[in-house]
Amino acid sequence: MRYISTRGQAPALNFEDVLLAGLASDGGLYVPENLPRFTQEEIASWAGLPYHELAFRVMRPFVAGSIADADFKKILEETYGAFAHAAVAPLRQLNGNEWVMELFHGPTLAFKDFALQLLGRLLDHVLVKRGERVVIVGATSGDTGSAAIEGCRRCDNVDIFILHPHQRVSEVQRRQMTTIFGDNIHNIAIEGNFDDCQEMVKASFADQSFLKGTRLVAVNSINWARIMAQIVYYFHAALQ
């Protein structure tokens, strides 16, 4: 699978490079050059699969050529095995023909756990293989920050910096972000609002000369891996 920029001026990359790239060099977002297509019969055959196995079938085309099947299966099993409910994203019936899908069974109770628990493990896999270290910088109004820190806390080759607006996140989110301790975790309260945090992150990505040889990686929604992971639970709901 190759990825191209929405602005059309950046070089095409494979999944591994897109995972580490963040924004494209022309300021665009990296998206798949072609979307995979599944037949109705193929999708129907996935009914009843455990969540991590369904995730493998949906996401495999997006990582093809970059991550071996056996490695990807192991990463997905570890990712979704950490969720508190065996169904990972269970459906609850409200009445005769209305259902709600619960996306709060991850470690930080946010739907972003579905992507960020996976992103941390993908980064660890790729960086160990490359022998590289990266810096994650992210802005949050609450849930992205705690999910990103939880997802990357065990990554040996990642330093993570999360900016949140001081006294403008919930107390639960503040505690989730500020009570996980590690030499690679840096949570920073900014005197301002979320937009101020985001502007600082954008400025950092625009001029990375301060990094002295390493690179920035995005955990916000500009990273394709986050979008990819969140596709799966729509298949899960439809099959249920």
pLDDT tens track for 89-109: 999 999 998 999 999 999 999
pLDDT at 237 over 90: yes
Range of the domain at 56: 2-239
pLDDT at 38 over 80: yes
Candidates 73, 74, 112, 212; catalytic one? 112
Contacts 24+ apart (CB under 8 A), 104-109: 106/82, 106/147, 107/82, 107/83, 107/147, 107/150, 108/143, 108/146, 108/147, 108/150, 108/176
pTM equals 0.92
Query: Residue 211's pLDDT is what?
Result: 83
For position 109, which CATH number holds?
3.40.50.1100
Beta bridge partners of 132: none
In DSSP notation, 43-93 reads HHTTTT--HHHHHHHHHHHHHTTTS-HHHHHHHHHHHHHTSSSTTSS-EEE
Query: Residue 240's pLDDT is what?
Result: 92
202 included as an active-site residue? no
Beta bridge partners of 13: 3
Query: Residue 128's pLDDT is what?
Result: 95
pLDDT at 213 over 80: no
- Banded pLDDT at 149 (limits 50, 70, 90): very high
Which residues fall within 8 angstroms of residue 129, CB to CB, at 6 or more apart?
A: none
Q: How many domains does the chain have?
A: 1
Phi, psi of 220 (to 5 degrees): -75, 180
